[in-house]
A and B are shown apart, each in its own frame.
Chain A
Amino acid sequence: EPEVTQTPSHQVTQMGQEVILRCVPISNHLYFYWYRQILGQKVEFLVSFYNNEISEKSEIFDDQFSVERPDGSNFTLKIRSTKLEDSAMYFCASSRQVHEQYFGPGTRLTVT
């Protein structure tokens, strides 16, 4: 069964550094998403991406964040200058249509 994959599984970075989180969505999916989950809290939407552009973003997704689909298979989330409060699990998701979003295993980001 096709799955969303994410790398790395765990990223440790220092405050102020840039990080890039990578995702490979399910191959025939057209919609891509990033969510995050701070430890013990609910899953929060960051951004959705369709047809090579952002279709929706939350108030969390400020100028420090960007997304890109650099080739036909990868989907990335970049945080330009990480803050302590960016520490969370980041989940990539994809869907063929707008509903039925399938999530990857996540990248645990630790900002020290």
Chain B
Amino acid sequence: QQQVKQSPQSLIVQKGGISIINCAYENTAFDYFPWYQQFPGKGPALLIAIRPDVSEKKEGRFTISFNKSAKQFSLHIMDSQPGDSATYFCAARRSSGDKLTFGTGTRLAVRP
């Protein structure tokens, strides 16, 4: 019940296209959902985050959509660029805890 399931495992998108990564969770105690971007050899970098009281959050080309009833959330990258090529992790945190539970990651490749 502590797991966060992420799909797809890998994704190839043409430059200018939309990248969509999905995550699902079971634990209704999760109340904070961040997305992290990781380049090879680097640490995860916080990209954008959402709380369940809103259904969407947008920052620049990055949008999180959140469906509380379905216990799903997704990351949309608009106008994808080759520089967006990285591994993306969704995560979740319980209201009563500190730890982030990470998804398994999505390796995104944006072709020029």
List residues of chain A with CB under 8 Å of any chain B CB.
4, 31, 33, 35, 41-45, 48, 50, 55-56, 58, 91, 93, 98-106
Contacts and interface: CB of A to CB of B under 8 A. Distances in A.
Main secondary structure, interface of B, reads strand
B interface bracket (residues with beta carbon within 8 Å of A): 20 to 34
Contacts of B22: none
B42 A99 contact: no
Interface string B88-112: 0101010001111111110000000
Most chain B CB inside 10 Å of its own CB: which residue of A50, A98, A104: A98
B62 interface: no
Nearest to B32: A99
Nearest to B95: A98
A91 B98 CA distance: 15
A42 B104 contact: yes
Interface stretch (B44-52, B68-76, B77-85): B44-52
A15 B107 CA distance: 32
B105 A42 contact: yes
A100 B49 contact: yes
B46 A45 contact: no
